[in-house]
Chains A and B, each alone.
Chain A
Amino acid sequence: MGLNELIFGGMAVLGIVVFMFVGRFRANRSQRDRADRLKWTAVDKGHSAQKKP
């Protein structure tokens, strides 16, 4: 195994480990509690209106 495999293979393994571990935690409060946060639900009003009784 060469240096190339060691460095980049290690980077890949570390990246996956970080993703699998950090991904489980909620984002920082400063990320979640802000006014300009993306609204993924604000949408297709027609669709929402249909759902209303």
Chain B
Amino acid sequence: MANRTALQTFGRSGNPMFRGNAFQPDATFGETDSTQRMTLAGAVNKTGILLVLCLVSAGYVWNQFFQSGGSGAVKGLMMLGLLGGLAMAMVTIFKRQWAGLTAPAYALLQGLAMGGISAMFEMQYPGIVIQAVGLTFGTLAMLLLAYKTGLIKPTENFRLMIVAATGGIALLYLVSFVMGFFGSSVGFIHSNGLFGIGFSVFVVAIAALNLVLDFDFIEAGAEQGAPKYMEWYGAFSLMVTLVWLYLEILRLLAKLRSR
């Protein structure tokens, strides 16, 4: 399949948050001044705000989990976080103009789920959460440096590769999820054998490379003077990728520890 056709078929982004018309100005954009346009600093600050919100709600669930001594007390909060987070993500994707409200709500709700999941892993493998957090932010910093210095240059082929791999992983997870209802699953995804660990390493790499697309999206948005709300949208897309990367690193570390 030629690149052009494939891009038209699968979309032009590795991240579902990035539709091709992401920077399409709204009807009133032409009349706004430069203070109403997206900046790099604005997107970075808003990412910081989302991280703090996520940390606060995750910390609350984490404390509840360890005070009550199990997941029973936080199951409701975790479900609220998972389903509410998914709903907020969908609203943000389809109504970018609302990102200033929906992105913080997404971060708070996602934090509820992250706090519970992290606490479960921590109870089983003490010390694993701080390792996953450290590796996630370490990866973020290293890839940002690699992107800013021009060491990694995202091209259309790069994006096509990430789109295909991300889509494949999502499909595999969906199949495994559906098979779960029938008491079965795609075994190697969850195994701690060499193949299972190799798969996790691959998924971590793809999640990490999605960060490069996020950086390029934000950079391009700031350059092209996208509307101010795109700062929230860019921060939201970074959050989505970071949450995915964190979860995959957590799973990888758990597989390594369980051997």
Contact = CB atoms under 8 A, between A and B. Distances in A.
Contacts of A16: 48, 51, 137, 141
A32 B223 contact: yes
Interface string A19-41: 11011111111111010111111
Contact of B150 (A4, A7, A31): A31
Contact of A24 (B18, B44, B140): B44
B147 A38 contact: no
Which range contains the number of B residues in contact with the other chain?
35 or more
Contacts of B47: 19, 23
Interface in B118-160: 127, 130-131, 133-141, 144-145, 147-150, 153-156, 159
Interface in A1-53: 2, 4-5, 7-16, 18-20, 22-32, 34, 36-44, 47-48, 51
Contacts of B217: 40
Contacts of A9: 130, 133-134
A28 to B, nearest CB: 4
A36 B130 contact: no
Given A12-B130, A18-B145, A28-B150, A40 B44 contact: no
A2 B154 CA distance: 39
Interface of B: 12, 18-24, 40-41, 43-44, 47-48, 51, 127, 130-131, 133-141, 144-145, 147-150, 153-156, 159, 213, 215-217, 219-224
Given A25-B148, A32-B223, A41-B23, A14 B155 contact: no
Contacts of A23: 40-41, 43-44, 47, 144
A31 B153 contact: yes
A31 B127 CA distance: 38
